[in-house]
Amino acid sequence: MKKNLFFILLLISWISQAQLLDPVKWKTSLTKISNNEFELVMNATIEPEWHMYSQYTPDGGALPTVFEYKEAKGNYTVVGKTSESKYIKEYNDIFEVDEYFFSNTAQFKQKIKVTNTQLKEIKVYVEYQVCKEQCIQQDKTFTFKLPEIKEEKPAVVEEVKTIAPETEAKPLELEIDTTEVAVIEEPVGKEEAKTAVATEEHKDLVKAEKREEKRSLWTIFIFAFLGGFAALLTPCVFPMIPLTVSFFTKQSGSREKGIMNAVFYGLSIIVIYVALGSLIVGIFGADSLNALSTSVIFNIIFFIILVFFAASFLGAFEIVLPQSWANKVDMQAGKSGILAIFFMALALAIVSFSCTGPIVGTLLVEASSKGGIAPIVGMLGFSSAIALPFMLFALFPGWLNSLPKSGGWMNTVKASLGFLELAMAFKFLSNADLVLQLHWLEREIFIAIWIAIFATWAFYLFGKITLPHDSPLSHISVGRLFMALIISIFTIYLIPGLWGAPLKVISGFPPPMTYSESPYGVGYTNGGETTTTTEVLPEHAHYGPHKIIAFHDYDKGVAYAKQAGKPILLDFTGHACVNCRKMEEHVWSKSEILPLLKNDVVLISLYVDDKRELEEKDKYTSPETGKEIKTIGNKWSDFQITRYQNNAQPFYVILDAEGKDINTPVGYTPDADEYKTWLEGGIKTFKEK
């Protein structure tokens, strides 16, 4: 009886694992705007507790939703970007990034303009990731049937009924359940209103996101204010304070008028810089800024810009605006009246650009990565710090006597800003490397670069290094000494990061622990076992988590297992799979499990979200699903679907050395004892064969 019960439970477990999960149901519709203009609408209904990710979710976490409009060239034009409904923002402590996702519902819209009047349909390919306890890489193809496009523009705007995505009568095709596709009988406005309705949980998450957004904007404002204060202490700005305030107090005729002019001068500074932030948002669009910041090309451009700014601050050259600009503005500032005061403020911005430009540029780059109105908020904080002293010293001119004299300390401030700019630059280069998965700038290299930068900064502050604009030092001030000590302490704090320390103070700046030569540190010890001994890796093998020897190619892994006489742990995983990382960090790391993974099995990890393209000769169309297999991830995903009728990750199977299954597959198993029992059962079955 017990044996029968065990068999039934095993069968139920197998059935629960061997299924294709499809937690997102789609409904599509097409609305005619004009004779040859249409709006494609794609509504996603997401099962409870599952998350689907925004097009703009930052790199380094879950995979974004991507739309591809098929055969557009010569047939139709895609007008603007695909818009999407409001997403939820939440910090992921596994990947150490914010993630933007949809819960319950999502809506995407795209306007298109048809240029080929004979066109009968438009196909849209969408690729996305959806996660709960497991992550699934999904893709769909939607087919929108077009009405007849007449030569003359029709007088009445009509709406075309919902068209279901393209389907084929194949047993494993991950297509949309046509029973879920409903004809739209109501106006679009009502349909949109229905889509916008969310659960109370969803509303609470949206409110939390808004609170987080406000906190983020306040953080940008505060850092921008500190940046403006730092700019005040540079040689281009600081000497202007007493000169400008003296002008207003002496040349305005009366103290009251002088104060009024100084206040207007300060407000003019704020208006000029806020206008710059508004211009950036206006050119790129509030929503597009975040998309730009997550682009590989723009991250590399940001890196180059910041290195350029850093070189300027360190004395390699001066960044100046054309002299003709300053001359023209000075001519206007020489006149009397309110307008002249505004041009005085503009003249300050132009003349001081060699010092303020790199700071402003860095703030705009960093604010752009937040998207929305962040560049405007950043410029408000920066300009407020610049304007405030001019207004305060006009109100209290006696304070001028307490100002420190101009001198070499201002060059120290400028050079210090250069070191900070250089450190920040590598954050953007790291983002690009993470997206491309090149592993050129892994965690250890990033930390080593920061150690070198901050150690050099400390030596500079101690007076051991001089830069082009510095004067010889006979001694250093107490303030400079304290700053040198703080930078030295921070540098020493970074060093254990090379051996796997988490470095929580700079969390989010370096690549995550998993993106590392040795994810758990050089000399990592677990259960009395150290990994500092020299090991010879088998051909085609790599070090996986916890320095487990792993293969990323199925055939090569099976060949090695046959040679070694060991069972295979087949691991369907993904770079952007959160629970895959949780399993590796919290279950595989256990002292009772890690030795089994290192010594008793051959690990084959197949990444279903690997975007690297296959060679042309290796590309194919899946005979089971009918999908085009173009990337390495496509290949392993198709393998999992066709062999196990399962498309979720993580997904684990134990095979014998011939590649045949010897136990029931399991998915996400956070209980370490349960996973150990499953793993030992597979190893025992292999040994008994």
The CA distance from 31 to 188, in Å, is 8
The CA distance from 573 to 648, in Å, is 9
The answer to whether the CB of 426 falls within 8 A of the CB of 454 is no
Q: Is residue 317 part of a domain?
A: yes
The CA distance from 290 to 523, in Å, is 39
pLDDT in tens, 506-551: 866 788 776 777 655 555 444 434 444 445 788 889 888 888 999 9
Domain that holds residue 273: 212-410
pLDDT in tens, 610-639: 888 899 889 998 887 788 888 898 899 899
pLDDT in tens, 330-345: 565 555 567 777 877 7
Same domain? 45 vs 174: yes
The CA distance from 41 to 492, in Å, is 55
Same domain? 194 vs 318: no
Q: How confident is the model at residue 594 (pLDDT cuts 50, 70, 90)?
A: very high
- CATH number for the domain spanning 586: value is 3.40.30.10
The answer to whether the CB of 513 falls within 8 A of the CB of 443 is yes
Same domain? 191 vs 221: no
Which of 642, 650, 566 shows the shortest CA–CA distance to 606? 650
Same domain? 117 vs 260: no
Same domain? 303 vs 190: no
Q: Is residue 497 part of a domain?
A: no
Q: Which residue type is seen at 79?
A: V
The CA distance from 175 to 45, in Å, is 15
Q: Is residue 204 part of a domain?
A: no
pLDDT in tens, 635-686: 998 999 889 988 888 999 999 988 899 989 999 898 999 999 999 999 999 9
Phi/psi zone of residue 538: left (φ > 0), alpha (ψ -120 to 50 degrees), beta?
A: beta
pLDDT at residue 135, as a whole number: 84
pLDDT in tens, 366-418: 666 565 677 888 888 888 888 888 788 777 777 767 767 666 777 888 888 88
Mean pLDDT for all residues in the chain: 78
User: Of the residues 129, 164, 198, which one is the last residue of a structural domain?
Assistant: 198
Same domain? 30 vs 171: yes
Q: Is residue 93 part of a domain?
A: yes
Q: How confident is the model at residue 177 (pLDDT cuts 50, 70, 90)?
A: very low
Helix and strand totals (H; E) in the chain = 19, 21
Query: How many structural domains comprise the chain?
Result: 3
pLDDT value at 555 more than 60: yes
Q: How confident is the model at residue 167 (pLDDT cuts 50, 70, 90)?
A: very low
pLDDT > 70: percent of the chain: 75
Of the candidate ranges 314-328, 402-416, 419-433, the one whose mean pLDDT is the lowest: 314-328
pLDDT > 90: percent of the chain: 24
Same domain? 154 vs 225: no
Same domain? 573 vs 670: yes
**Which two tokens mark 213?**
């957004």
Q: Is residue 635 part of a domain?
A: yes
- CATH number for the domain spanning 164: value is 2.60.40.1250
pLDDT at residue 300, as a whole number: 87
pLDDT at residue 652, as a whole number: 95
Same domain? 269 vs 157: no
Among 131-140, 163-172, 174-183, 593-602, the range of highest mean pLDDT: 593-602
Which of 372, 29, 393 shows the shortest CA–CA distance to 190? 29
Same domain? 143 vs 251: no
The answer to whether the CB of 178 falls within 8 A of the CB of 164 is yes
The CA distance from 244 to 242, in Å, is 6
pLDDT in tens, 199-252: 444 454 445 445 555 556 787 888 888 888 887 777 777 777 777 777 666 666
Burial class (CB in 10 A: 0-12, 13-18, 19+), 109: middle
Same domain? 188 vs 261: no
pLDDT at residue 452, as a whole number: 97
pLDDT in tens, 435-482: 677 888 888 999 999 999 999 999 999 999 988 878 777 888 898 999
User: Of the residues 357, 382, 410, which one is the last residue of a structural domain?
Assistant: 410
User: Of the residues 198, 222, 243, which one is the last residue of a structural domain?
Assistant: 198
Q: Is residue 260 part of a domain?
A: yes
Which of 389, 384, 408 shows the shortest CA–CA distance to 399? 389
The CA distance from 637 to 647, in Å, is 7
Q: Is residue 430 part of a domain?
A: no
Same domain? 189 vs 51: yes
The dihedral through the CA atoms of 628, 634, 637, 639 has a sign that is positive
pLDDT value at 90 more than 70: yes
Q: Is residue 522 part of a domain?
A: no
